[in-house]
Amino acid sequence: MIVLENVDKNYGKHQALSGLNLTIPLGKIIGLVGENGSGKSTLLKIIAGLTTPSSGSVQIDELKATRRIASKIAYMPDADMFYPFFSVERLFRFYETQFEDFNYSKACIVAQYLNVPLDAKLKNLSKGNRGRAKMAATLGREASYYLLDEPFSGFDPLVREDIIKGMIQFTDPETQTVLMSTHEIKEAEPLLDAIILLNHGKILAFEEVETIRDQYGVDAVTWMTKLIKEGDLSGNKTNR
């Protein structure tokens, strides 16, 4: 499991994360939500070992979260970071050299499912198809944890639907966890087991989606909006 204890992250005078205590078990699909600047991307980078907290600890299966835990974490950033002259197939071959858990055959199956041609150059693909290729490369890994930063950003509803179906079909709900930041909460809600709500660098709530529906009787967007307004009114803020 992923365990964060008293995690702070400062960038100069700006406090991006404050006092985070969080335990994320295996076998869940969890949405990481909040307004812009709430700390979602920073939290994913810290869990992935790409940046270090200013204080506190982060452990992945009882190992300190550093770049060395890449074998357990498949991290997909929001930005495109691929060589544009790569074909989709060459991208997969590159991943194969970088990650021992990368399954080339699985990546090709995901790409076929998402209608991404293997011989296409990344620079010639539409943004939607680049997103599909990025998702296929990420899901081609057999990692314990998938960290996805805004996987639906900028895509039309059909692309979002394809990616959601791919995540369901090509991850194992018994042995793998998906943690993804998203603003597309309505589209993602049917996929999610739970939601972590960040507000001004703090965890405002960590709730099962079923509880939100049954106990509070609202959808995730309504629940989130209400809690953020209440948090702001109560002064639940850190330095922005």
Q: What is the pLDDT of residues 217-236, one digit of tens each?
A: 888 889 988 898 886 655 54
Is residue 218, in this structure, part of any structural domain at all?
no
Q: Does position 198 have pLDDT exceeding 80, yes or no?
A: yes
* Length in residues, the chain: 240
Contact present, 119 and 89 (Cβ < 8 Å): yes
Give the residue carrying structure tokens 């992250």: 9
Query: CA of 149: how far to CAs of 125, 161, 209, in Å?
Result: 20, 17, 20
Is residue 112, in this structure, part of any structural domain at all?
yes
Is residue 114, in this structure, part of any structural domain at all?
yes
Cβ contacts of 80 within 8 Å, gap of 6 or more: 122, 130, 134
pTM of the model: 0.89
Q: Does position 31 have pLDDT exceeding 50, yes or no?
A: yes
Q: Does position 52 have pLDDT exceeding 70, yes or no?
A: yes
98 token code pair: 């970088």
Check the CA dihedral 220-223-226-230 and report its sign.
Answer: negative
- The pLDDT value recorded for residue 69 is 78
CA count, 13 A, side-chain hemisphere, 239: 8
Among the ranges given (70-84, 107-121, 190-204), the one the predictor scored with the smallest mean pLDDT: 70-84
DSSP structural state of residue 70:
G
Which residues span the domain enclosing 98?
Answer: 84-135
Alpha-carbon gap, residue 231 to 5, rounded angstroms: 22
Phi, psi of 3 (to 5 degrees): -130, 125
> Which residue did the predictor score with more confidence, 231 or 72?
72
- The pLDDT value recorded for residue 167 is 84
Identify which of 206, 202, 178, 175 has the alpha carbon closest to the alpha carbon of residue 192: 178
Burial class of residue 62 in the structure, from the number of CB atoms within 10 Å of its CB (0-12 exposed, 13-18 middle, 19+ buried): exposed
When divided into structural domains, the chain yields a total of 1
- The pLDDT value recorded for residue 42 is 94
Is residue 92, in this structure, part of any structural domain at all?
yes
Quickly list DSSP for 190-236: GG-SEEEEEETTEEEEEEEHHHHHHTS-S-HHHHHHHHHHHHHHTT-
Is residue 18, in this structure, part of any structural domain at all?
no
> Which residue did the predictor score with more confidence, 81 or 201?
201
Give, for 130, the enclosing helix (H) or strand (E): helix 127-139
Is residue 199, in this structure, part of any structural domain at all?
no
Is residue 91, in this structure, part of any structural domain at all?
yes
- The pLDDT value recorded for residue 32 is 95
- The pLDDT value recorded for residue 236 is 47
Is residue 88, in this structure, part of any structural domain at all?
yes
- The pLDDT value recorded for residue 240 is 31
